[in-house]
């Protein structure tokens, strides 16, 4: 059963079948731009399935021990409490609400919201939704019910609007722009405004695992053996960062975390220029999510584990 859950997670994040604290100090919280402060989850987490989200010293996560239901756990605690009973991915936290894609068979990826105490569960759409990003009072998502085109709607489910006609994966919403890979054009990187205007092709590379950091797009370049590349968000200054294949990219603070086939898919950390490499853990890992001082990942047994940002003791999310 656990292996089956792992397969489902992989399929979802790759858009194949479904979706294509340190004691004694305050936990570090990533510094977002003014327009990003109302972002429901980090870009890197959403690109990695959104199995973890965080707010106000609480971590919300998909619990593989309970059919991917959302649980919440205070940072630094080992106790966790259940929030819902839906199979949940692409979790966002906004104000007093959790938003997520419900991947139960009957719901097939529809977006729901629920209060943090588990009350007022509400279905918001009828679309097969992935790469859900809540920012302000808008929800952006790739719509599998309509060829993975990008849609947006209000957080109450109103004003549902189509924004493009491309097969869109790895959707990243940053300020007034949406960046994505276009499967209609061999996974090339594109961007559009959040109102759907100014559609622009940025690169000839086939890309996956997009992350945006300080005006740069970081990605795994399938056109060059999955090596790590970056370019500016206007498409200029394209360059290789790391001459090795990378997956599951997540950028936090001034570090890039990723897995590497050559290193048995251990989690590795480098700085934004590709230097100061460090191995963070020593087991096969995927779906790298980050919250506060911890990295969260799925191991080869389909269990959610965490470790400090600079490595060290590995702990199961729930013992």
Q: Max Cα separation, the chain?
A: 51
Is the pLDDT assigned to residue 14 strictly greater than 90? no
Measured distance CA(57)–CA(231) in Å, rounded? 33
Predicted confidence (pLDDT) per residue in 24-71, tens digit: 333 334 444 444 457 999 999 999 999 999 999 999 999 999 999 999
* Residue 100 banded pLDDT, cuts 50, 70, 90: very high
Is the pLDDT assigned to residue 241 strictly greater than 90? yes
Calculate mean pLDDT across residues 250-272: 93
Q: Would you say 125 and 107 are in contact if contact means Cβ atoms under 8 Å apart? A: no
pLDDT of residue 147: 96
First-to-final CA distance of the chain: 18
Q: Which residue has the higher pLDDT, 302 or 131?
A: 131
Calculate mean pLDDT across residues 258-286: 93
Q: Tell me, what CATH number does 24's domain have?
A: 2.120.10.30
This prediction's pTM: 0.89
Full residue range of the structural domain in which residue 19 is found:
2-316
Calculate mean pLDDT across residues 123-152: 97
Give the number of domains in the chain.
1
Return the HEC string of the chain: CHHHHHHHHHHHHCCCCCCCCCCCCCCCCCCCCHHHCCECCCHHHHHCCCCEEEECCEEEEEEHHHCCEEEEEECCCCCCEECCCCCEEEEEEECCEEEEEECCCCCCCEEEEEECCCCCCEECCCCCEEEEEEECCEEEEEEHHHCCEEEEEECCCCCCEECCCCCEEEEEEECCEEEEEEHHHCCEEEEEECCCCCCEECCCCCEEEEEEECCEEEEEEHHHCCEEEEEECCCCCCEEEEEEECEEEEEECCEEEEECHHHCCCEEEEECCCCCCEECCCCCEEEEEEECCEEEEEECCCCEEEEECCCCCCEECCC
pLDDT of residue 201: 98
Is the pLDDT assigned to residue 12 strictly greater than 70? no
């Amino acid at each position: 059963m656990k292996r089956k859950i792992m397969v489902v997670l992989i399929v979802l994040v790759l858009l194949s079948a479904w979706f294509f604290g340190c004691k004694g100090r305050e936990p570090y919280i990533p510094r977002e731009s003014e327009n990003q402060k109302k972002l429901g989850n980090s870009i890197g987490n959403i690109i990695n399935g959104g199995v973890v989200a965080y707010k106000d010293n609480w971590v919300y996560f998909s619990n593989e021990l309970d059919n991917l239901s959302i649980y919440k756990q205070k940072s630094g605690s080992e106790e966790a409490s259940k929030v819902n009973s839906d199979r949940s991915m692409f979790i966002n936290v906004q104000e007093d609400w959790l938003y997520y894609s419900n991947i139960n068979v009957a719901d097939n990826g529809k977006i729901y919201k629920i209060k943090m105490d588990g009350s007022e569960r509400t279905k918001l759409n009828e679309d097969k939704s992935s790469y859900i990003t809540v920012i302000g009072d808008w929800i952006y998502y790739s719509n599998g019910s309509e060829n993975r085109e990008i849609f947006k709607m209000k957080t109450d489910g109103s004003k549902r609007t189509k924004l493009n006609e491309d097969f869109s994966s790895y959707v990243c919403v940053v300020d007034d722009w949406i960046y994505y890979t276009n499967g209609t054009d061999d996974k090339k990187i594109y961007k559009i405004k959040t109102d759907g205007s100014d559609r622009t092709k940025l690169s000839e590379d086939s890309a996956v695992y997009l992350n945006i950091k300080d005006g740069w797009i970081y990605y795994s370049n399938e056109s060059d053996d999955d090596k790590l590349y970056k370019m500016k968000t206007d498409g200029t200054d394209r360059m290789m960062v790391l001459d090795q294949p990378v997956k599951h990219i997540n950028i936090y603070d001034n570090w890039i975390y990723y897995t590497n086939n050559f290193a048995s898919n251990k989690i590795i950390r480098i700085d934004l220029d590709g230097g100061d490499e460090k191995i963070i853990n020593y087991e096969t890992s995927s779906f790298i999510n980050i919250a506060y001082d911890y990295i969260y990942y799925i191991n080869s047994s389909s269990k959610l584990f965490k470790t400090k940002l600079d490595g060290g003791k590995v702990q199961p999310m729930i013992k």
